[in-house]
Amino acid sequence: MPSALPPAAVRHITVDEESAGQRLDNFLIRELKGVPKTHIYRIIRSGEVRRNKGRVGADDRVASGDVLRIPPIRLSERAEEKAANPAPPREFPVVFEDDAFMAIDKPAGVAVHGGSGVSFGVIEQMRQARPQARLLELVHRLDRETSGLLLIAKKKSALKALQDQFRERETGKTYLTLVKGTWPAKLKVLDQPLHKYLLPDGERRVRVTSKDDPDGMHSVTLVRVVGRVAAPAGLAAGLADSFSLLEVTIKTGRTHQIRVHLSSAGYPIAGDDKYGDFELNRQLSRLGLRRMFLHAWRLRLAHPITGNAIELHAELPEELQSWSRICV
């Protein structure tokens, strides 16, 4: 049994320089992890949150040196259990790191954060591995099955600057992927809106939709053929004569964008268990490919503090290298 948590008590938080200018609600949502947003807004509206001993509104901006009084807050049983049983500490291969942010090489099969049936992910494990870090926040996401470059901010100013770059599509995100079939060299742009929906069991899915779908999200994927890869010996006849190794750059960051665009074009990603060729995947697994071949390989961005151009690379992991040997 986990040890009992100490009783809730009044807290006083001093706003640091990095947080100056943030709305109060956004500041508290980051500070009071595990507390529902509805509860945070309730204690603000009720006047239980005080700034420098005075009342404060959710949309008021905090300043460096402000002292915020936070009333006693009881977490839900689930949140208390999570606090009493934290994620195991884990470091991940570091591609780049300075005082502002870091880029890690995330392995396949690891979620970026807890939720949706996953107790913890990369960010929770990193926080446990680096208890001295004042802040570690995900800048963006990768699918659990996707490996490669993942950015983690170490300063709030860096987090905002990097997220602004992603939102304004100022970053260049390029993936390496292996797809079934021979990709036509002339097919370089996939410009099809995507529609998110839920399966009966609540699992999320995405499909290509029409241009006039009001719920369709504008989505653009650029494709460059690296080369053709021969089908492995032992693959059942008729499943795939060859594969194509592609560089895929996304201009929009939609859920499952690459997977859905490529599958809809008739060239599913090898090993994709949601949008792929399931019989082919079964055969490939028998031959040694036991994951989806999608890897966040290159990322171009401006440094969030200096503005200098940076290009980061995470080379293909060992379990994918033998599947990417180009024939033509």
User: Which amino acid type is present at position 328?
Assistant: V
Alpha-helical (H) ranges within 46-134 are 77-84, 122-129
Q: Is the Cα torsion angle 262, 251, 136, 14 positive or negative in sign?
A: negative
Which one is catalytic: 25, 98, 105, 143?
143
> Are the C-beta atoms of 225 and 246 separated by less than 8 Å?
yes
Taking the C-alpha atoms of residue 163 and residue 157, their distance in angstroms, rounded to an integer, is: 10
Taking the C-alpha atoms of residue 173 and residue 299, their distance in angstroms, rounded to an integer, is: 5
SS3 call for 284: helix
Taking the C-alpha atoms of residue 292 and residue 275, their distance in angstroms, rounded to an integer, is: 11
DSSP secondary structure, 135-201, as one string: --EESS---TT-EEEEEEESSHHHHHHHHHHHHTT-SEEEEEEEEES---TT--EEE--EEEEE-TT
> Are the C-beta atoms of 154 and 102 separated by less than 8 Å?
yes
Q: Clarify whether 59 is annotated catalytic.
A: no
The Cα angle at residue 218 between residues 216 and 221, in degrees rounded to 5: 125
224 strand-pairing partners:
247
Which residue numbers are catalytic? 143
